[in-house]
Amino acid sequence: MEVIPAIDLLEGRCVRLYQGDYEQAQTFDENPVAVARQWADQGATRLHIVDLDGAKAGHPVNVAAIEAIVRAVDVPIQVGGGLRDRANAAALLKLGVQRVILGTVAVEQPDLVRELCQEFPDQIVVGIDARNGRVATRGWLETSEVLATELAQQMADLGTAAIIYTDIHRDGTLQGPNLAALRELADGVTVPVIASGGMSTVTDLLSLLALEPLGVSGAIVGRALYTGDIVLQEALRAVGQGRWQDVPPDFGTSALA
């Protein structure tokens, strides 16, 4: 299972939000390129970048910072935030981004998702951000009536390479992942699922190993890396040595749904 460091960009800075609230942005570093190099040097096999300004604006904003990160590190990078048309998605892929993450368009323009999956196989990922089980869009500023589980099934059928599932109520809170919701979503699709939101300790990451047989292939970690609650090298070592068979079947099932 991959442990994927998150770099959230706001006005060119590396920040973390609390439950997606732009008014509760905490700056951790003014130099996102240095942060990317740090995670790569510590063994990260992939980086997750979110253009927060882009998510709000509806088009990529922090392109210069993203390009600088792509040039600075030799690990695959996935990018999301404001990608709502073919041109912007294709432009990021041309820069050297390995995978782009579509969010709002998965709800509003599923035909575009289908077309992009066909044009760029294995490079299109759908991010499903849920608030009380329903999909949030437009930088988490709006909540639709679409159920996360139903959207996941639809996107898997369209050919997405993976699904990133974020429980907004857990994001940035260090309260642990929503294991019940992850289990339900992963059980209903045949593509890899990457967990996001709430990772606070290595124990949280180990709890996800119990869901690995269902297709949970990775975990995105943000605030806990920046606060030091999770040390990346230790997390990589622990997850690499762990086996889901060694995790008790009820491990972590007390997490709130």
Q: Which residues are catalytic?
A: 8, 129
Q: Which residues pair with 195 in a beta bridge?
A: 165, 219
CA dihedral 16, 2, 37, 18 (to 10 degrees): 0
Question: Residue 194 to residues 2, 44, 56, 108, 208: CA-CA distances in angstroms?
Answer: 9, 15, 23, 22, 10
Question: Distance between CA 97 and CA 120 in Å, rounded?
Answer: 12
* Amino acid at position 68, single letter: A
Q: Where are the beta strands (DSSP E) in 35-158?
A: 47-51, 77-80, 99-102, 124-131, 134-137, 142-147
